[in-house]
Amino acid sequence: MLEQRGSFGERGDPRHHDRWTIFEYSKEFMIERPLRDFEVVLDIMKVWETDKDNKFICKSFPARDELTAKEVLRLVGPGQESFVRPHGWVHLETKKNKWVKRYLHITDTAVYHSKDNKFNGESMLCMLRNFDVYAVQVPRKKAPTKFGFALKSSDSIHMFETPEDDYIHYICTESGESLREWLVGLRAAKGIFMYHANPEMVREGQKHAVELMSSGNQDGSMRGNLTEEQVSMAEAKLAGLGLSLNGNLSNRLR
């Protein structure tokens, strides 16, 4: 659980609640996403461009339960039949400022778009392995609606021959309700994929959460299985961002 020093409040304080969440934010692309509880902050930072304004922001997130290891384990266990992957018509930016209407759907491993709901002219948009969903903070130029999200790669931008076409994909929906459905569905699909790729990471995240609840420990550690050397390196990097490895904001954010 995240607690801002002197600002989040202690238990019993009206300011205290369990909705605080770390968000990854990119000023270059004007997008953000909430981190899942079992993600390792250092892994995310490794692919950041040093000359770009990327940061972590801590704020309240009403749908925080969607980010827990417990929710992912539910979706791959007893709740898997209740999860319906979103699909439907969206607006896709295929080139800068060029938007086309496409039918979008998700499989176990990737996101596809086609000319119609019969999957004619189907093309793969991106893999779930190395892409995640982000909320768009400022509508794209000439976007047909203001309800936008993005699918951005978690790999380095230098791995792409044509990053302007392949590194990030912008999508618009027709309403705030449909935007919410896509964000939730893609977030869940990515979480399920992460479990199948590395089930131990998710199980350890749940184990840690249970231990925190049973012990009353509010440290909220995000250290995972890092070595002491890695911890020291991460702490040094995060210090410049105003964060520590246990998720607390530094005093300069008071």
Residue 96 maps to which CATH number?
2.30.29.30
pLDDT of residue 4: 39
User: What span, in angstroms and rounded, lies between the C-alpha atoms of 22 and 28?
Assistant: 19
Q: How far apart are CA 43 and CA 168, in angstroms?
A: 19
Distance separating alpha carbons of residues 93 and 106, to the nearest angstrom: 18
Q: Does residue 35 contact residue 8 with C-beta atoms inside 8 Å?
A: no
Which residues 6+ apart lie within 8 Å of 108 measured at CB? 128, 192, 193, 196
Could you tell me if residue 224 is inside a domain? no
3-state helix, strand, coil in the chain (%, to 5): 30, 25, 40
In-domain check, residue 92 = yes
Q: What is the pLDDT of residue 235?
A: 58
For the chain, how many residues are written? 254
Q: Residue 148: what pLDDT?
A: 98
Instruction: Spell out the per-residue pLDDT of the chain, length 254, in tens.
Output: 344 333 445 555 555 456 889 999 999 999 999 999 999 999 999 999 999 999 999 999 999 999 999 999 999 998 788 899 999 999 999 999 999 999 999 999 999 999 999 999 999 999 999 999 999 999 999 999 999 999 999 999 999 999 999 999 999 999 999 999 999 999 999 999 999 999 999 999 888 877 766 655 444 444 444 455 545 555 555 555 555 444 434 332 33
Do the Cβ atoms of 130 and 153 come closer than 8 Å?
Answer: yes
Q: Is residue 11 part of a domain?
A: no
Domain count, the chain: 1
Please tell me the predicted confidence (pLDDT) of residue 222.
Answer: 41
Q: In which domain, by residue range, is 151 found?
A: 80-197
Q: For position 201, what pLDDT does the model report?
A: 94
Asked whether the beta carbons of 221 and 101 are under 8 A apart, the reply is no
Q: Is residue 40 part of a domain?
A: no
Burial of 178 (0-12, 13-18, 19+ CB in 10 A): middle
Per-residue model confidence (pLDDT) at position 91: 98
Residue 84 lies in a domain: yes
Residue 151 within a domain: yes
E-strand stretches of the chain: 20-26, 31-34, 54-60, 87-95, 98-106, 110-114, 123-127, 131-136, 147-153, 168-173
CA 98, 103, 124, 173 dihedral sign is positive
| SS3 label, residue 114 | strand
pLDDT value of position 80: 83
Q: Does residue 53 belong to any structural domain of this protein?
A: no
Would you say residue 234 lies in a domain? no
